[in-house]
Structure 1
């Protein structure tokens, strides 16, 4: 797959019509997405060019392309990229035991848990967890951000988890979507790389990608300078789209193979326990999002933080926001689909 996108510089801009899209239908899609007055932004990339963007002001956001939204769990796909870079550099193997880098008495993970298990949400769980990402504050909320969150031991698994989760459930036996176990990948990468996961991410992924408005919530970085792996990123829609473009490029960026193509392929392929999940990316091979292309894969976070990657259309669509409504991937796609359904094949 040919490399496209902005490299280390800003996105190149173009008109939708020059890339087979319609400004009118994109405007309708944006207005449908924004009907709950909770979207902050929508960015559409085709053929590596930013062809459309809209931004809105509300109680939590400014209508600015530089505004940083809270990633929630869409940050997991950035975390997957951190593991992918460590794999690319030969610092770790996907079937390495997690215990090689972080002892089970520290992580709470089963001794047989591998990095692959953590990437595919089949680790068997842990009771040593960090709390969830903090929601964004209202624009009129003067409180300062809180301190970094630390691991704490729980007595039982969270409500809805499988029997024995985090205690005796064997790794590899069941898929259970849980960011708490995945958070330990940040410590694993740090041990493998010899630098904190925060530094590894910012210096070796965020900087090469040319992200302009990307950081972590202060609460998302602990006393060891390791990040909450499954969230707590604050970033613009434009920067979210860079992640999608990296995967659309098969891991190539700015003239080099930043992430091994084999890792990208595995990350966006069905895992044995869940055909709708790869390595911390949601997949559409099993029609998780009805009427969307089967080849689509996407990062997803609470309250509608999405980065849809459409390989057959050479497109990336990022939309973020916050509010009381829980915008689902299905609802987001229903809004976007009319703007994409008549799209001709991508230009070479």
Structure 2
């Protein structure tokens, strides 16, 4: 059967043809009127619209292993225009998404004979899928605007029947529609978005349909503002390169979706080579590949942009993480039953979005990964943006340079410019010698530069290369004084440190980071952007996998040792993770203290208090180390408010106090 489907799929793609699916009612189907579907793999189920007494058929295809595992639940892919889409979707899912139930919804079977003669077997699609009630004098027999009724049929009869008779996953329903049925999918997404979790809309809209959707949206947006619940869905929109007329209406439709406060959508908008007909096969295949990517915590596309990653339909949660032979030891979560339940409940709450938009939660105890979970955009094998947590990694790189003898602990208090031989001291601001590595690492560098002027300076990137960046900073800063050297987050301090690293290590800072830190930890799948100076970014714009965040946390937990080797200077790491200064920004909690780009805070459990050291990046990137409990916790996310820390520490840390 797989060979037959492969031949069908190959032929469709190579010929690049598709049944005519124009939105105008003059299009003729290539399927003969009244033709019956015959296939041993497909169950044909008659079904009646309970509200309108209309007869349809469902074409249900089950996965090959459906009968083998009676406890397994399956995602369902529903598609309209079933006779046109069945073979392509069946063939595509066979090879890219085997564990899915396919449910095709036919056109109305008992449509009036005169309509069938005039418009073909697919006559009902023009009425069932249309959400405009404008009459057409050229087609007086067609009653447009039946989309609301047809959607009710799908929600109340079709989905209910499938859920009642098959082992379905209610959290993983997908809709596929193309052309007019794609427009119907847009209508569903706008009016009843909770019908499906994923929407595949192929070539869905033309300019004439957007005003109707806009009017519908206006009516829905007002009452929605008083609701607190947020609906999540993944949306894949695609159309042909030769369908230029669809650019504007699809952009307008996406703006309508963005305007809905209670819709949290992950939207991917693709333009595929071809026109309305010839683009269809590739849109079908690529959309199924996209769909498979949100069914698994393991991504099949290692090059996908983070913002193009669709939300997982279900959380991946394991209390016995897999040994992926990546240098991480694994074990089973061994805590009390109540604590285990609390951690699993927290995990479900994270997936449900109760605490914001987070993508992963991992727990390592005694240097063994014992809990691993992924949500939303989290994938086990994809790097995740680290934001300002990169500052903490830069601190570790400096600690590695000290361990290898390129710097000493005493050097931390020497003038930073003493390590930069290309700096011209005659042109720099007064007091520049007051800036030390210690000052920069604690955000006390003291630079004072007009940001408007600096934006103009950045346009001349040539002068900012290498140590020229620091030279230019020191030329344009106000004098460095004791008064100016107060805590100020950011303020070029991380790049001051990175420039020193680049100056003192053999080769380049980029090579040093790779060979002396990341390679030794087995971190190979990462992205580390380049600063305008040509050096590695020191404060943000790097991505690593959540499991690799565990490696960095355990390195801190083990006082800089890796497999018995002192990788990071122990003296430096003790200083870096200590309480040196108190941050002054009002967005930083009052209990937080700051070391060398690492934060500290006490955690109270009962009558005891435990010190936590952590790297912290915007959006919800955390590596939390509680040394007294042999505990490392990793969180990654893309949440604007990032309030998860309190909830995680309140639930997870107490569980390990008792073990």
Q: TM-score, normalised by structure 2?
A: 0.42
1:15–1:51 CA contact under 8 A, matched in 2: yes
Higher mean displacement: 165-174 or 305-314: 165-174
- Tell me the CA shift for residue 244 of structure 1: 1.0
Residue 593 of structure 2 corresponds to 276
CA contact (8 A) 2:446 2:485 kept: yes
Q: For structure 1, list consecutive stretches of 5 or more residues without a partner in the other structure.
A: 1-5, 132-148, 157-164
1:160 corresponding residue in structure 2: none
Q: Using the alignment, how far apart are the partners of 1:246 and 1:227 within structure 2? A: 22
- Measure, in 1, the Cα distance between the counterparts of 2:579 and 2:649: 24
8 A contact 1:20–1:343 mirrored in 2: no
Q: Within 5 A, what are the aligned runs for 1:213-224? A: 213-217=525-529, 220-222=530-532, 224=534
From 512, 519, 536, the counterpart of 1:200 = 512
Find the residue that maps to 1:299 and give its secondary structure. Answer: strand
Correspondence 1:338 to 2:651:
yes
Q: Secondary structure of 1:271's match?
A: coil
My pick for the range that moved more, 85-94 or 239-248, is 85-94
Preserved CA contact (<8 Å) 1:33 1:332: no
Moved over 6 A (4+): 18-21, 104-109, 128-131, 149-153
Would the alpha carbon gap of residues 232 and 340 (structure 1) be closer, same or farther in structure 2, given more than 3 Å must change? same
What SS does the aligned partner of 2:361 have?
A: strand
Partners of 1:43 and 1:317 within 8 A in 2:
yes
Matched, 1:54 2:373: yes
Deviations, residues 33-88 of structure 1 (Å, cap 9, x unaligned): 3415621211110010000111123xxx3x42112111110111000001111111
Q: Give yes or no for the alignment of 1:113 onto 2:455.
A: no
Q: How far is the alpha carbon of 1:261 from its aligned partner?
A: 0.9
- Alignment-derived partner of residue 145 in structure 2: none
CA deviation map 1:114-154 (0-9, x unaligned): 111111111112549999xxxxxxxxxxxxxxxxx97879x
1:68 and 2:383 are equivalent in the alignment? yes
Superposition deviation, residue 234 in structure 1: 0.5
User: Relative to 1, partners in 2 of residues 1:320 and 1:297: Cα closer, same or farther, differing over 3 Å?
Assistant: same
Aligned to 1:258: 567
- Partner of 1:136 in structure 2? none
Report deviation, 1:11.
Answer: 1.2
Alignment partner, residue 299 of structure 1: 615
8 Å Cα contact 2:625/2:632 also seen in 1: yes
Aligned 8 A contact 1:213 1:235 in 2? yes
Deviation at 1:345, TM superposition (A): 5.5
Give 3-state SS (helix, strand or coil) of 1:297's partner. Answer: strand
Of structures 1 and 2, the one scoring higher in RCO (CA 8 A, sep 6+) is 1
Contact kept, 8 Å, 2:624 with 2:632, in 1: the verdict is: yes
TM-score (normalizing by structure 1): 0.76
Per-residue deviation, 1:277:
0.4
Change (3 A) 1:23 1:230: same
Aligned residue for 2:543?
Answer: 234
Mapping 1:242-253, distance limit 5 Å: 242-253=551-562
- Within 2, Cα distance between the matches of 1:21 and 1:215? 39
1:1-348 residue pairs with structure 2 within 5 A?
Answer: 9-17=326-334, 22-34=339-351, 35=353, 38-57=357-376, 61=377, 63-92=378-407, 93-102=411-420, 103=423, 110-125=432-447, 127=449, 166-170=477-481, 173-178=485-490, 180-217=492-529, 220-222=530-532, 224=534, 226-272=535-581, 276-285=593-602, 293-323=609-639, 325-328=640-643, 331-344=644-657
For residues 198 and 207 of structure 1, the distance between their equivalents in structure 2, rounded to whole angstroms, comes to: 12
Three-state SS of the structure 1 residue aligned to 2:515 is: helix
Give, in angstroms, the shift of residue 294 of structure 1: 4.2
Work out the CA distance in 1 between the residues paired with 2:404 and 2:428: 24
Paired positions, count: 301
- CA shift at 1:168, angstroms? 2.7
- Secondary structure in 1 matching 2:381: coil
Alpha carbons 2:390, 2:617 under 8 Å: kept: yes
What secondary structure does 2:503 align onto?
Answer: helix
Q: Higher Cα Rg: structure 1 or 2?
A: 2
**Secondary structure of the structure 2 residue equivalent to 1:317:** strand
Taking only aligned residues, the RMSD between alpha carbons, in angstroms, comes to: 3.5
Distance 2:658 2:575 in 1: 25
Within 1, Cα distance between the matches of 2:417 and 2:608? 39
Q: What residue number does 2:304 align with? A: none
Distance 1:342 1:194, change over 3 A: closer
- Shift in alpha-carbon separation, 1:95–1:14, aligned structure 2, 3 A: same
Give the number of the structure whose residues are more often helix, by fraction: 2
